[in-house]
Amino acid sequence: MEFISIRDFRNATKDAWIALERDGKLVITNNGKPKAIMLGVNSDNFEDMILSLKRLELAGVIEKLQQQSVENGIDGLSLDEINAEIAAARQNA
């Protein structure tokens, strides 16, 4: 995967597009730190790429929720306790 600074991207956009077409992905950096990932798409794979990104985003949300449950000590709740929590939340809504 190729990395390019935001300055180089701005000054040599054509080179960035060439790298993107060659590798299918390109990381944009700012002060040496990754800030964005560009993914090459076309009319044939656009919808699939969007769906894949949504799935990746959802996986990240699920992982964060799992980490929070461990941190809060609620990762060992039984199914009955989970259902009770859901019922209580619904009553308060």
The pTM assigned to this predicted structure is 0.66
* Same domain assignment for residues 35 and 60: no
* Same domain assignment for residues 72 and 57: yes
Q: In whole angstroms, what is the distance from residue 76 CA to residue 62 CA?
A: 16
Structural domain count, the chain: 2
* Same domain assignment for residues 12 and 50: no
27, 1 contact by CB (below 8 A): yes
For 24, the domain range is 2-39
pLDDT value, residue 93: 76
* Same domain assignment for residues 30 and 52: no
Give the domain CATH number at 31.
3.40.1620.10
* Same domain assignment for residues 59 and 82: yes
pLDDT value, residue 70: 93
* Same domain assignment for residues 52 and 34: no
Q: In whole angstroms, what is the distance from residue 8 CA to residue 38 CA?
A: 15
pLDDT value, residue 75: 87
Q: What would the pLDDT profile of 10-36 be if each residue is shown by its tens digit?
A: 999 999 999 999 999 999 999 999 999
* Same domain assignment for residues 77 and 53: yes
Residue-averaged pLDDT of the chain: 93
